[in-house]
Amino acid sequence: MKTKAAGGYWSNAQLAEVVEMVRKAHGLDLYPYDGNFLANSLDRRMTATSIPTLPAYAELLGRDPAEAEVLFRSLNVVYSEFFRNSLAFSLLEHLILPGFLDALEKSGRSEIRIWSAGCATGQEAWSVAILVAELAGTDGKPIPGRIIASDVSAFDLAKARAGIYRPEAMGNLRLKHVYNYFTRQGDVYIIVDRLKEGVEFVVHDLLDECTIYPPESIFGDFDLVLCSNVLMYYRPEMQRLILSKILRSLTEGGILLTDGTERQLVESIGGFHRIAAPAAVFRKN
């Protein structure tokens, strides 16, 4: 079997050799990543280093820890946007979060429990926090939600926690969200403190074998988990591992939101059913 990348073909055996060599030479683990994604990433590094063949590039990787590090880092894609998946966020706003808030009132519970897994620079977590605040009409009070936002990258989490965004990042936001949930300082926009009180950013690796969910959440039991644009970068066995953890972290009837491109893989793995086609929003079976 061959894995196609933009600039050529690699056999799975060649990819496996590179993975093993980088692990042995530099202690970096490329194994969890999806084959096509890895092949494309190798291809991009070959172009950037002007090395035309895989054996020559593999040789460079073996002897140069800096190049191995650059390749490894390139596998961690951190791009994010506010309200990135408009269809899914619309379902959250009009169906799922109102239902959760209603259930809170009836049950006497004080908060909705939400986990943004692979939150990058925070836009996903802040988007859901904005919706909870708006729907609950908190009017200056803390939101009735506990949002745990986790990522493997402490560097990006620090940006997420600071909640400072340049105007280019604000495109998907409604004007009322910008006015109500950000303050402007010079040419940046900063998340307001009352929203910050409801969101905790923590380092957590979804592939970690010792944890199911971030220990800071104390117990899982999340009503909602957002894990979008994360699964697609991993090989099927890692996707299954992550989804099985999410399944165990969700409360009975809890909801999972992924990116639309990850819809089929969630359906193929099982444990969830889609609640409204074509959005990638699922309920735990």
CA pair distance 99, 208, nearest whole angstrom: 32
The residue count of the chain comes to 285
Closest residue to ligand SAM, judged by C-beta, is 118
Please tell me whether residue 78 binds ligand SAM under the rule CB under 6 A.
yes
Please tell me whether residue 219 binds ligand SAM under the rule CB under 6 A.
no
Number of residues that bind ligand SAM (CB under 6 A): 22
- Contact with ligand SAM (CB under 6 A): which of 205, 215, 253, 261? 205
Please tell me whether residue 122 binds ligand SAM under the rule CB under 6 A.
no
Specify whether the CB–CB gap between 259 and 232 falls below 8 A. yes
- Contact with ligand SAM (CB under 6 A): which of 41, 80, 239, 249? 80
Tell the smallest beta-carbon distance from residue 97 to ligand SAM (Å).
18
Tokens of 122: 């925070």
Identify which range of 128-136, 145-153, 183-191, 277-285 contacts ligand SAM by CB under 6 A. 145-153
Q: Which lies closer to ligand SAM via its Cβ, residue 136 or residue 281?
A: 281
- Contact with ligand SAM (CB under 6 A): which of 43, 67, 151, 223? 151
Tell the smallest beta-carbon distance from residue 90 to ligand SAM (Å).
16
Specify whether the CB–CB gap between 153 and 185 falls below 8 A. no
Tell the smallest beta-carbon distance from residue 265 to ligand SAM (Å).
15
Tell the smallest beta-carbon distance from residue 63 to ligand SAM (Å).
27
42: nearest Cα among 20, 68, 80: 68
Q: What residues line the site for ligand SAM (CB under 6 A)? A: 76-81, 84, 118-120, 123-124, 151-153, 156, 205-207, 228-230
